[in-house]
């Protein structure tokens, strides 16, 4: 149903129609170009409705208030964006929630809803290259979304009603704030969230301020580096907070901020105590850490079916093992800093993070990466029955972007590159890739071209053909 925030009297309607016809006539005479609506999606191969065309977001300022008793969220989103075409209208992704008011550059804008699309029609056209401020005021009960693979994301309230956890991969962030929710559009963030006194509210970046008044506490978080919206998180509830620092490879100290539910405090603290060790190891292998803080959020067990590499501080449902901690910290380079252009490129996230686990085990005196590769080749289908079901770079559908070929076979592609070029060149490629696309987006074609450029004397065609894009199980390596 469409809704407008202003009503035009009949006499003004006639004038408006006359002016519109005159404007069209003048446009036809002088050859001027009027704005057109931005696209309602970016044609992602697996999530075609995700994201929007016609603009790019540079900053989100979210001001939220959450009441756990009735699970109601009230928010104001101030979105700074730049038009990439002459715009007469544009869309945002917002699933559920009640929209109360929309303004563009301080003027009320017309808007309507169409599924997950919030269609905004500014008072006047926006010119290509113009930076504009969009404000959306909204409220309601955020939804828990079910992914194509059956897992849940979006807004995950605690069973006892005491808090909530927001997770966004691949599209769940649209459940709790409006935006351009596709990994190709990254932005900086400021998030203020007000909750009942006694609860914690943990998000990405750095906590810049915390104030309590009238029985409610407001937390303010700032994320300076570009972040894809699926990496945004918010954990509200009873958490024990710890702060520390670790040395950064680029110099100085990195803040470490961890939040753990009391029920997981014992087992989680043992794992999180190894964050400095993992960070030092990861910087040695992958290059300087790309963000200004690190840490972790350990939520209650079964808060979700999966851990997630939310930027700066990954989320774990219960205490993580060391391999999972390594995996999610590696994602800060591969997935968070170097972010895929589309969900087809998911293997660039998960292949690298999975291979980081292999490297960690190798360096810790366990199986070598080659032994892990061989075992997976010989017996991988016993544990991952779909391991050879499709190539890593071409998942069969949206429900399979987190399946074994993306993770395990993706890691096998990385290992084949290492076999081909040798260790010295391999680590130069890995660190160079992370540096070349730091805080940006890249796809599979970018990666294969980069590898070939860095090792022009090597033949990578068999790797691309058989391991990256080939159907079925490749011949014996």
Average pLDDT, whole number, for the chain?
Answer: 93
Cα dihedral value 322, 328, 333, 337, nearest 10: -160
Mean of the pLDDT values across residues 405-413?
98
204-220 pLDDT, tens digit each: 999 999 999 999 999 99
In DSSP notation, 69-102 reads TTTEEEEEEEEEEEESS-EEEEEEE--S-EEEEE
List the one residue out of 125, 120, 122 whose CA is nearest residue 99: 120
Higher pLDDT, 21 or 374: 374
339-359 pLDDT, tens digit each: 999 999 999 999 999 999 999
Please tell me the pTM assigned to this model. 0.92
Mean of the pLDDT values across residues 69-77?
97
pLDDT score of 477:
72
Mean of the pLDDT values across residues 48-75?
98
**Distance of alpha carbon 115 from alpha carbon 165, whole angstroms:** 23
pLDDT at 364 over 70: yes
The share of the chain scoring above pLDDT 90, in percent, equals 91
pLDDT at 14 over 90: no
Mean of the pLDDT values across residues 185-200?
98
pLDDT at 4 over 80: no
Cα dihedral value 387, 364, 278, 167, nearest 10: 20
List of residues 6+ apart from 205 with CB closer than 8 A:
189, 221, 222, 223, 224, 292, 293, 311, 312
Mean of the pLDDT values across residues 11-15?
36
88-146 pLDDT, tens digit each: 999 999 999 999 999 999 999 999 999 999 999 999 999 999 999 999 999 999 999 99
**Distance of alpha carbon 172 from alpha carbon 156, whole angstroms:** 10
pLDDT score of 12:
36
pLDDT band at 15 (very low <50, low <70, confident <90, very high): very low
Ramachandran region of residue 26, left (φ > 0), alpha (ψ -120 to 50) or beta? alpha
245-291 pLDDT, tens digit each: 999 877 889 999 999 999 999 999 999 999 999 999 999 999 999 99
List the one residue out of 200, 184, 255 whose CA is nearest residue 224: 255
Question: Do residues 367 and 374 make contact, with C-beta atoms less than 8 angstroms apart?
Answer: no
pLDDT score of 251:
81
pLDDT score of 162:
86
List the one residue out of 334, 339, 380 whose CA is nearest residue 354: 334
């Amino acid at each position: 149903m469409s809704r407008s925030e202003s009503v035009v009297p009949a006499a003004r309607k006639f004038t408006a129609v006359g002016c519109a016809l005159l404007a069209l006539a003048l446009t036809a005479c002088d050859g001027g170009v009027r704005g057109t609506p931005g696209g309602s999606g970016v044609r992602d191969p697996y999530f075609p409705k995700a994201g929007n065309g016609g603009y790019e977001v540079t900053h989100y300022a979210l001001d939220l208030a959450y009441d756990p008793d009735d699970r109601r969220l009230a928010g104001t989103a101030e979105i700074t964006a730049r038009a990439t075409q002459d715009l007469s209208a544009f869309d945002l992704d917002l699933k559920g929630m009640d929209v109360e008011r929309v303004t563009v550059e301080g003027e009320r804008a017309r808007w309507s809803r169409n599924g997950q699309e919030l269609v905004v029609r500014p008072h006047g056209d926006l010119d290509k290259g113009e930076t504009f401020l969009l404000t959306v005021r909204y409220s309601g009960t955020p939804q828990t979304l079910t992914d194509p693979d059956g897992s849940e994301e979006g807004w995950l309230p605690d069973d006892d009603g005491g808090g909530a956890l927001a997770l966004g991969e691949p599209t769940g962030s649209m459940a709790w704030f409006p935006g351009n929710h596709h990994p190709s559009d990254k932005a900086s963030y400021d998030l203020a969230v007000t909750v009942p006194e006694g609860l914690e509210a943990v998000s990405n970046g750095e906590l810049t301020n915390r104030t309590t008044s009238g029985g409610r506490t407001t937390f303010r978080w700032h994320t300076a580096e570009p972040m894809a919206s699926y990496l945004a998180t918010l954990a509200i509830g009873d958490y024990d907070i710890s702060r520390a620092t670790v040395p950064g490879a680029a110099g100085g100290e990195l803040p470490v901020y961890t939040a753990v539910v009391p029920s997981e405090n014992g087992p989680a603290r043992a794992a999180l105590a190894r964050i400095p060790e993992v960070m030092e190891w990861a910087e040695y292998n992958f290059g300087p850490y790309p963000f200004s803080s690190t840490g972790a959020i350990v939520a209650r067990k079964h808060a979700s079916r999966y851990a997630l590499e939310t930027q700066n501080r990954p989320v774990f449902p219960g205490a993580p093992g060391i391999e999972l901690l390594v995996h999610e910290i590696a994602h800060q380079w591969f997935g968070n800093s170097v972010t895929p252009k589309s969900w087809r490129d998911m293997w660039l996230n998960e292949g690298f993070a999975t291979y980081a686990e292999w490297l960690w085990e190798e360096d810790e005196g366990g199986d070598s990466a080659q032994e892990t590769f061989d075992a997976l080749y010989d017996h991988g289908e016993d544990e991952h029955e779909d391991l050879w079901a499709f190539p890593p770079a071409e998942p069969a559908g949206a429900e399979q972007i987190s399946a074994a070929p993306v993770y395990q076979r993706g890691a096998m592609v990385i290992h084949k590159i290492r076999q081909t070029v040798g260790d010295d060149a391999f680590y130069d490629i890995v660190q160079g890739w992370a540096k070349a696309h730091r805080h940006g987006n890249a796809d599979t074609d970018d990666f294969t071209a980069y590898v070939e450029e860095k090792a022009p004397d090597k033949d990578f065609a068999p790797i691309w053909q058989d391991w990256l894009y080939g159907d079925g199980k490749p011949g014996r390596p």
